[in-house]
Chain A
């Protein structure tokens, strides 16, 4: 009998069993820690340069001297119903950190956590009240007359509205990430189907609750893939619980996922009624503070990044906008991955970030 055969049929000793139990106990401890503590997230140094109500505008401290930096600063705009620090998730795996190292002057718009007094905030306010004021301050502080903007998810929707309504405000480059803009296909993805259904009325929900609790939004997002989110994620973690890289990544992401925030009631109603149900932006019937949104007025250079396996914003919701915008310089970039994974997953550093950097670098000096 060979040595390998001896190994494969070896009967475990009492010591092996004890070792196994000890390992299992350690793993349970690790799991408990991951589930009930917060990871070290959003560590890149920054300063607040503007605040209004709950909104804050951050400027990240540059890591390169001024002469090595790009001239055109970059403003990051995230969604209104999640915390924006997913863009600066953890040291060594942070989009903000990466862009600082590539020589960008990076700013981040944090919409804040809406309180009961903010239940009437709508996309009109975000687009034409908060964002222009933040941009004014951002331009004043950076000294730049032109700027680039990256919008992600509903942040991309707000960025698109702003870019179409204020084309002469200095926006040179616009990066749209998983932008939910076109809701013509009511069967594309769970959200579209649920929100477009006549049985679902957001008015009653908002009337009773004011703002929509983060738990409802979180549950809705998780129910799009219930087995993966409620079981698969934990099973995969358990399988790799001895791998520190996997554990750190999972911990950081879980910290972000658990940090749910409410969505302003008026914005929620508008999202469901004007966008999901009536598809007003694509139909050309959307008005923001009385101004008709004409996508043809959007003339900034556009990089539209689509996640091919996105179940929250299916690719079809982001594609058609390319035919409607007035930009001459535009590119559609497809990435393999999901809604969050393309920016915060393991492949982001090799695929999404370098492509965005290359596209932006060519237009930032």
Chain B
């Protein structure tokens, strides 16, 4: 009694709403996919990004220069200083890795015991910060 031949349930208004909603979303999704795959959208995105970068670029550069000057006056290292330091550390790490390779040739790490087989824990959540 409650269903007609199409599986349409007149006593389930939520079901009717869901069907209409899904149909609408599908139609909308197709239109949007066609839109974002169009040449016009690609051009508009490129132009908007360029405009954004052109407008914000000078502001960001001015802010960066002012910040660098302020930090220099306060005798504090700037981001560029820290970056340069980090780059030097990476170079040192590269050298250490090369030395490690030579050490591995002399004392192969395979002589170390491999981790023992175990079963993965099926349990608790860990925060992302603790995963490594």
- Residue B109 is within 8 A (CB to CB) of chain A in the complex: yes
A231 contacts partner chain B, Cβ-Cβ < 8 Å:
yes
- In contact, B2 and A8 (Cβ under 8 angstroms): yes
Kindly name the residue among B38, B47, B131 whose own CB sees the greatest number of chain A CB atoms within 10 A: B131
| B69 CB–A CB distance under 8 Å | no
CB contact list, B35-75 vs A, under 8 A: 36-39, 41-43, 45-47, 49-50, 53-54, 56-57, 60
Verify if A146 is at the interface (C-beta below 8 Å from B). Answer: no
Q: How far is the CA of A38 from the CA of B101 in the complex (A)?
A: 38
CB of A284 within 8 A of chain B?
no
Q: Which of A5, A50, A232 has a CB less than 8 Å from the CB of B1?
A: A5
By the criterion CB–CB under 8 Å, are A63 and B119 in contact?
yes
Interface size, chain B (Cβ < 8 Å):
60
Residues of B with C-beta under 8 A to A239: 18
B89 CB to closest chain A CB (Å) equals 8
Size band of the interface chain A makes with B: 35 or more
| Bitwise interface map of A from 257 to 279 toward B, beta carbon under 8 Å scored 1, else 0 | 00100000000000000000000
Interface string of A213-234 (1 = CB under 8 A from B): 0000000000111111001100
Are B60 and A193 in contact, CB atoms less than 8 angstroms apart?
no
CB distance from B96 to the nearest CB of A (A): 9
- Closest-by-CB residue of A relative to B12 is A8
The stretch of A132-140, A174-182, A293-301 that contacts the partner chain: A132-140
B residues within 8 A CB of A9? 2, 11
Contact residues in A for B37 (Cβ distance below 8 Å)? 187, 189-190, 193
Interface of B, secondary structure class, is helix
Interface residue B110 (Cβ < 8 Å from any Cβ of A): yes
Q: Which listed residue, B25, B33, B36, B56, touches A235 by the CB 8 Å rule? A: B25
A205 touching B53, Cβ below 8 Å: yes
Is A97 an interface residue when CB atoms closer than 8 A count as contact? yes
Closest partner residue, chain A, to B46 (CB atom): A199
> A99 CA to B123 CA in the complex, in Å?
20
Q: Which residues on the A side are within 8 Å of B11 (C-beta)?
A: 8-9
Q: Is A169 an interface residue (CB 8 A)?
A: no
Asked whether any CB of chain B lies closer than 8 Å to the CB of A66, the reply is: yes
Any chain A CB within 8 A of the CB of B127?
yes
Complex CA gap A130/B11 in Å reads 63
A65–B118 alpha-carbon span in the complex (Å): 9
Say how far A114's CB is from chain B's closest CB, in angstroms: 11
**A52 contacts which of B46, B54, B97, B109 (Cβ < 8 Å)?**
B97
Which stretch of A53-61, A148-156, A323-331, A334-342 is in the interface? A53-61
The answer to whether residues A44 and B120 also contact, given A61-B115, A197-B42, A226-B36 and a CB cut-off of 8 A, is yes
With an 8 A cutoff between CB atoms, is B108 at the interface? yes
CB contacts (< 8 Å) of B101 on chain A: these are: 133, 136-137, 140
Contacts of A167 in B (CB 8 A): none
B20 in the interface (beta carbon within 8 A): no
Most chain A CB within 10 A, of B114, B121, B122, B126, is at B114
Q: Is B28 an interface residue (CB 8 A)?
A: yes
Pairwise interchain contact A63-B120, C-beta atoms closer than 8 A: yes
Do B115 and A194 touch across chains, with their CB atoms under 8 A apart? Answer: no
Listed by A's residue number, 24 A-B pairs whose Cβ atoms lie within 8 Å are: A5-B2, A8-B1, A9-B2, A38-B127, A43-B126, A44-B120, A48-B132, A62-B117, A91-B122, A117-B82, A136-B104, A137-B100, A140-B101, A194-B41, A194-B42, A199-B42, A199-B47, A199-B50, A200-B50, A208-B56, A224-B33, A225-B33, A228-B29, A311-B33
- Footprint of A on B, CB under 8 Å? 1-2, 11, 18, 21, 25, 28-29, 32-33, 36-39, 41-43, 45-47, 49-50, 53-54, 56-57, 60, 79, 82-84, 86-87, 90, 93-94, 97, 100-101, 104, 108-110, 114-128, 131-132
Excluding A45-B121, A61-B115, A66-B114, 20 further A-B contacts by CB distance (< 8 Å) are A4-B1, A40-B124, A43-B121, A44-B120, A50-B97, A53-B90, A59-B115, A63-B119, A136-B101, A140-B101, A142-B110, A187-B37, A190-B37, A199-B42, A199-B43, A200-B42, A224-B33, A232-B25, A235-B21, A239-B18
